[in-house]
Structure 1
Amino acid sequence: MTVATVTVEEAAAWLQAGEAVLIDVREPDEFAAARIHGAILAPLSQMPAAWQALDLPPGKKIIVQCLKGGRSHQVCAFVGPTGPDGQPVFNLTGGIQAWNAAELPVVFAEQG
């Protein structure tokens, strides 16, 4: 299955404009250590229940993110190209590593 992707720059613009929600599929310890502001945790290890428990707003793009893009690709392939209300689903290319490398803001544990 082909998975739609989004660059960190595009994703940041969508998030800033309020056009998208960000789902982090890493594990809770990884999320606690470093996360993208506003990301919602839904660990791959807890799928599909974690995905089904999400309250995904209709009319917004869904961006799925992990460390480098592998686990989020698995989730995107599992859920398909659209969310429960037809929202387009995108894999964040390069994950939080690419986000950090692009010098986009990351919330680290020591910052609270």
Structure 2
Amino acid sequence: MTVATVDVETAAAWLQAGEAVLIDVREADEFAAAHVEGAILAPLSAMPAAWQALDLPADRKIVVMCLKGGRSHQVCAFIGPTGPEGQPLFNLTGGIQAWYAAGLPIIEG
């Protein structure tokens, strides 16, 4: 199955404009150490319950991220091309490492 991807610059613009919601599928300790402001934690280890517990806005794109893009790709492949209400789903290329490398802000614990 093909998973749609988005680069960090585009994802950051979507988030800034209020067009997207960011789901971080890393583990809680990784999230606590460093995360993107506004990201919602839904660890891969707690799937699919963590995903089902999310209250995702119907009018926003869903961007899924992890450290480098592998775990988020797994989640996107499992969920499918759209969220529960038809929202387009995207894997963040390069994860938080690419976000940080691009000079985009992160919150460090």
TM-score bracket relative to the smaller structure = over 0.9
Alpha-carbon distance, 1:59 to partner: 1.1
Q: Which amino acid aligns with 1:95?
A: G
Q: In the alignment, which residue of structure 2 is the partner of 1:46?
A: 46
For 1:63 and 1:39, the matched residues in 2 are separated by 10
Local SS of the residue matching 1:23? strand
Q: How does 1:30-41 map to 2 (within 5 A)?
A: 30-41=30-41
For 1:50 and 1:74, the matched residues in 2 are separated by 14
For 1:13 and 1:82, the matched residues in 2 are separated by 20
Q: How does 1:73-112 map to 2 (within 5 A)?
A: 73-109=73-109
For 1:48 and 1:40, the matched residues in 2 are separated by 15
Alpha-carbon distance, 1:88 to partner: 0.2
Q: In the alignment, which residue of structure 2 is the partner of 1:28?
A: 28
Local SS of the residue matching 2:91? strand
Q: Which amino acid aligns with 1:18?
A: G
TM-score by length of 2: 1.00
Q: In the alignment, which residue of structure 1 is the partner of 2:14?
A: 14
For 2:21 and 2:59, the matched residues in 1 are separated by 10
The gaps in structure 2 that reach 5 residues or longer are: none
- Considering only aligned residues, what root-mean-square deviation do their CA atoms show, in Å? 0.2
The gaps in structure 1 that reach 5 residues or longer are: none
Pair 1:70 & 2:77 matched? no
Aligned length: 109
Identity of aligned residues (%): 81
Q: Which of structure 1's runs of 4+ aligned residues deviate more than 2 A?
A: none
